[in-house]
A and B are shown apart, each in its own frame.
Chain A
Amino acid sequence: METIAIYLGFILLLSIFLGFELISKVPSKLHTPLMSGANAISGITLVGAIISAGTGTDNRISVLLGTLAVTFATINVVGGYFVTDRMLAMFHKKETGGKK
């Protein structure tokens, strides 16, 4: 258990630093799509939710909780990516014409 905790802690720390590096380069005009795109990524909980919903079939409450988690996380993921795409499709440079 201890080694796993340390190993996961390492991953956490490195990812946070990587996140800081990546995000600080995003210009302010893209902050809204960044936020909704990042938001969609946070729906990764879906992976955990799937495992919870798919394991104990004889444990009804666990399955119910897992299924609810899958639903919410999926809304987060699907909605987040689509809305981000919709926003980014509107961003265009001069003279190129925007898609609507």
Chain B
Amino acid sequence: MSLNALINFAYIAAAIMFIFGLKMLSSPATARKGNLISAFGMFLAVIITLLDKSIISYEFIAIGIAAGSVIGFFAARLVAMTRMPEMVALFNGFGGIASLLVGWAVYHFTPEIPPFTAVTIFLSVIIGGITFTGSVVAFGKLSEYISGKPILFAGQHIVNAVLVIGSLVLGALYCLNPAGNYLIFSIIIVMSLILGILAVIPIGGADMPVVISLLNSYSGLAACAAGFVIQNNILIVAGALVGASGIILTQIMCKAMNRSLANVLFSGFGATSSKKQEGVQGEAKPLKVDDAYLILEAAQSVVVVPGYGLAVAQAQHALRELDELLEANGCEVRYAIHPVAGRMPGHMNVLLAEANVPYDKLIDMDNINPTMNTVDVCLVVGANDVVNPAAREDESSPIYGMPIINVDHAKLVFVLKRSMATGFAGVQNPLFFKENTRMIFGDAKETITGLVAGFKNN
């Protein structure tokens, strides 16, 4: 068997391992093993690539792999679970820049390439570049190095359109004559990097689940394009799997907000807060922690609705403690998870898993809503727009039509909140004024700790 055939057989094996790895991610019981299989597939693909005959020097490969492994390992070990969204965003970006660099390196090494290869290099550079800077901006927004608010400026759409059309025109020029157009190629790289920045700055913090999903998809597609450049099957298969995964997640996120992808990407949603809204009248009824404890003590069924505020307040461990005390008291505790709660798909699940909450207590929105009217107390912790009944009732509301968790159907709703401020969408929440709603003002962690103390002292 020739070496080339051996390498390609190994790639097939790696592809199978990726596929099984992803398949096993469909159940929490097998997911961890699935990830291991996938990692082993990657290991195999990398090792077998080192046998490639065109490789004549290993020192730089060794340097790159050593540096990358150390950085990657420590980043993965040290990152706090609440920082997971920005970590994933950053890793995404690194995948993107790697694809850009591969395209560039191939072109630099052999500028005399057929148009087909030139097209694939162009795609790998432009998608890779957008993924890189887009992810870096998303990272900045999520870690609050830059404002999480949408950044808008006059003529933004025009600038974007000019950049997109410009890069396509330059791309066409480049592909027609790759050997003589190094300058144009350099300009394309710069444009792709600017495009990535401009694409993500107008998107607000709470829309980040969509953006991260989309960038995830791009990083896969960039790998795919790089696969076409070097005509390598494994890059195409793996890249396509990731691309498809990102697209599906993007769709799920958009559907959960009842908004189109175009609306998320271009509208600067949430930029204008404190819109005047009609129909929200009445007085919010505040409740003291001690009184809240007495009600919880008598409750048979409690549902917790976590939101991004839970992550901000770092209240997940205190919450788990409260959960245990409630259960010891004979109360059933469940968690209702909205698909876009938090800053990335599944963010709340990871946060609660970190606090040792078993995953079978985390219930999807669609499964918990029908049971909501049997719930004694609904505890809303740091969530706002995803429990806003205006989405169901008020046709003039910007979030009208978005599927929500029907907390107002519970017998009693406790909203843990710092103040009466509006949520990300800048929409007033009529939930706060409902007959069965009580507001517990203050820091979520302190409030929950107070409730825990109530159970312990009595």
Q: Give me the interface of A with B, judged by CB distance under 8 Å.
A: 1, 4-5, 8, 11-12, 15-20, 22-57, 59, 61-63, 65-96, 98, 100
Contact = CB atoms under 8 A, between A and B. Distances in A.
Main secondary structure of the interface of A (DSSP, over half): helix
A59 B99 CA distance: 19
Given A27-B26, A33-B350, A73 B241 contact: no
Among B18, B101, B104, B231, the one with the most A-chain Cβ atoms within 10 Å of its Cβ is B101
Interface stretch (B85-93, B284-292, B307-315, B448-456): B85-93
B242 A39 contact: yes
A92 B354 CA distance: 10
A24 B56 CA distance: 42
A15 B358 CA distance: 34
Interface in B78-111: 79, 81, 84, 87-88, 91-92, 94-95, 97-99, 101-102, 104-106, 108-109
Contact of A54 (B58, B102, B228): B58
Contacts of B104: 65
Given A15-B240, A29-B28, A47-B232, A77 B42 contact: yes
A23 B31 CA distance: 13
A5 B116 contact: yes
Given A41-B18, A69-B101, 11 more contacts: A22-B22, A27-B26, A29-B359, A42-B92, A45-B98, A46-B46, A51-B54, A54-B52, A87-B81, A89-B32, A98-B356
Contact of B345 (A11, A35, A47, A72): A35
A5 to B, nearest CB: 6
B31 to A, nearest CB: 5
B131 to A, nearest CB: 9
B73 to A, nearest CB: 6
B35 A94 contact: no
Contact of A52 (B21, B42, B102): B102
Contacts of A1: 114, 116
